[in-house]
Structures are given as structure tokens and as C-alpha cells.
Amino acid sequence: MEIIALSAFLSDVILPLTADGKQSNIGHGAHIGGSLFGATVYVINRLWGAKLHKLVRKSTSCAKKLIPVQIRNFCGRLRQLYCRVVARLGRILRRACALPWMEMFGIVVTAIALVIGGDEEDEVE
């Protein structure tokens, strides 16, 4: 993977120097900047990833204490309800059809989104 990333980076450096690269509409500078940013994040994660992970966990636990108990309890009950619904849908759909339930759920959600999205596009025009 590192070889592929390095070759993509070098192509963005070398290609603008050629005749084809000068006429293209590709923002090679943006690709170079993104590559350098990604490499920087990768190096930071490799060097200090565990320490940063602990810091994030501590900060989220402090932020969690700021949320009122009633809301935290409601979110916990909502998560339990979601898990029960998912399990129940899984049992029903495994019996009803051959497709796995997640695929069926995805198909239904996509169909609903297309119907809703189609209505919004009609209203804009």
C-alpha cells in the first residue's frame, strides 16, 4: 500500500511537468496536499496513536458526564430497543426471504430515500 501511495504521489509531482499534465484539469497540487496530510496523520497515528486514543476516551467520558442522566438513560433504552428491533427483523426476514435482512433493510431504505428525494426534486423545479 505504501508503494501505491508513493507512486500516486510521485505521479502528481511529475505529471504537471509534462505536456499532458499542463493541459489537464486535474488539481495536482490538491492531490499533493492531500497526500502529505494523509501521510502526516498516518505517522502521527503510528507514533502517538495509543496516547491519543486514551486522551480521546478521557475527554469523551468527561463530556458524557455533562449530559443529564435522563437523556443518557433514554439513549440507553433507545439503543436496547434498536437492538431488539434489529434482532426481531432478522428473525422475520430470515424466515420470509432468502436475502439477508440487512440487504433487505438497505433496499427498503434506499427505495424510501428515492421516493422522498424524487418529491424534493420535483418541488425545486
Say if residue 55 is in the same domain as residue 76: no
What distances in angstroms separate CA 49 from CA 42, 53, 57, 83, one per listed residue? 9, 6, 12, 31
The distance in angstroms from the start CA to the end CA of the chain is 46
How many domains in the chain?
2
Domain that holds residue 2: 1-66
Can you tell me which residue has the cell 421516493?
Answer: 115
Can you give the pLDDT at residue 97? 62
- Per-residue pLDDT tens, the chain, 125 aa: give them: 778 877 877 877 777 777 666 677 777 778 888 888 888 888 888 888 888 888 888 877 777 777 777 777 787 788 888 888 888 877 776 666 655 656 667 777 777 777 766 544 444 44
Say if residue 47 is in the same domain as residue 81: no
The amino acid that residue 86 corresponds to is V
